[in-house]
Copies of this chain bind each other. A is one copy, B any other.
Amino acid sequence: VTGATLLERLRLGDQAAVSRAISLVENARPGFEELLAAIHPRTGRAQRVGVTGPPGAGKSSLTQALVQQWRRQGITVAVVAVDPSSPLSGGALLGDRIRMEGVALDPGVFIRSMATRGALGGLALATREVCDVLDAAGFDRIVVETVGVGQSELDVVAATDTTILVMVPESGDGIQALKSGLIEVADVLVVNKADRSGADRLIREIGISLELRQGARAEPGWIPPVLATIATEGSGVAEVSAAVEDHHRFLEATGALTARRGTRLARQLHEVVSRSLSRWAWDAAEGARLVADRRADVAEGRVTPYAVAAAAVARLAGAEDPPA
């Protein structure tokens, strides 16, 4: 399949072409930047929704329930699940994806897991570019779901239009969400498994956290709703969906959507240029060979990593007298 054909099939929403394009982008295979350049003018139409929260909060169940809700409204949905790969096996665990099989045969739904290790230029950029592919393929809504609650996951969901933070009672989530900075990026707050004891207390705690952090929020005019759900039973899901739509209308009405997307596009420009320059320098300096050649010297203490790096830069810069 040539680039032009892939692009054509992508525009028609062909799921095999979408899969192929994502693999190309995710693995930074030859031609991925040309593909992204070609689809770039067709991006910016889809509504991007992030779903984050601590492990065990029921993010996948809520995502699945939202997808079903939106499909009933005729909205097409793509789900990108950012799974941490196992550091040893290198594979992503797909348990939650399997649970979404109920919607997997619907051509209006596309589900994809992304492994997180080794993404060239960082996970947030790679996820954003995968969303660009799905956006260009014509999906109405794109859900980015993360498994962890670390800094890189926070960066990932921060690149969406609307962020849903999912928490559960009985785990001190309210206080911890404040601590992790998640509450500042959240536009819609969900207390899932709301039939458990402690749900009311958690909702109150979140309310206090929101008031405390009010000044730090990105959109001062938006008061994030705190909603109770039992996602596995579908309870409260319609309200979450309505809140996502309310937030989108708020962003459109206030001009915040344009502003947010402008900021993100500027950041993408920065990261794309940085990635290209880094890759070029690494290749031009024959970084891989250099590292392999000097590995033993570094291990045996004959040279430091910093001296090897300085010599590589000096050679690339064409200096006569490398400072190694």
Number of copies: 2
A280–B158 CB distance below 8 A = no
A277–B285 CB distance below 8 A = yes
Choose, from A72-80, A240-248, A300-308, the stretch at the interface.
A300-308
Contacts of A216 in B (CB 8 A): 86, 88-89
Least CB separation from A44: chain B residue: B301
With A54-B54, A304-B37 known as contacts, the answer to whether A185 contacts B273 (CB < 8 A) is no
A28 within 8 Å of B by Cβ? no
A residues 259-293 touching B (CB-CB < 8 Å): 262, 265-266, 268-270, 272-278, 280-282, 284-285, 287, 290-291
Contacts of A34 in B (CB 8 A): 306
B150–A84 CB distance below 8 A = yes
Contacts of A117 in B (CB 8 A): 151
With A86-B184, A179-B95 known as contacts, the answer to whether A268 contacts B150 (CB < 8 A) is no
With A266-B299, A273-B308, A306-B34 known as contacts, the answer to whether A284 contacts B317 (CB < 8 A) is yes
A272–B306 CB distance below 8 A = yes
A36 within 8 Å of B by Cβ? yes
A residues 129-168 touching B (CB-CB < 8 Å): 146-155, 158, 168
With A173-B55, A216-B89, A281-B277 known as contacts, the answer to whether A148 contacts B147 (CB < 8 A) is no
A294 within 8 Å of B by Cβ? yes
Contacts of A149 in B (CB 8 A): 54-55, 148-150
Contacts of A176 in B (CB 8 A): 55-56
A23 within 8 Å of B by Cβ? no
Interchain CB contact (< 8 A) of A278 among B56, B274, B291:
B274
User: CA–CA, A155 to B170, complex, Å?
Assistant: 28
A180–B84 CB distance below 8 A = yes
Chain A interface SS verdict (over half) = helix
Interchain CB contact (< 8 A) of A262 among B36, B173, B276, B299:
B299
A85 within 8 Å of B by Cβ? yes
Interchain CB contact (< 8 A) of A305 among B56, B272, B280, B285:
B272
User: CA–CA, A89 to B275, complex, Å?
Assistant: 27
B274–A287 CB distance below 8 A = yes
B313–A280 CB distance below 8 A = yes
Give the Cβ gap from A3 to chain B, nearest Cβ, in Å.
Answer: 13
B175–A151 CB distance below 8 A = no
CB-CB nearest 8 A-B residue pairs: A150-B150, A148-B150, A55-B176, A37-B306, A276-B309, A281-B281, A56-B172, A278-B278
Can you report 15 A-B residue pairs in the complex whose CB atoms are below 8 A from each other?
Answer: A37-B304, A37-B306, A84-B150, A84-B181, A88-B218, A148-B151, A150-B151, A151-B153, A266-B291, A269-B291, A272-B305, A273-B285, A274-B282, A278-B282, A284-B317
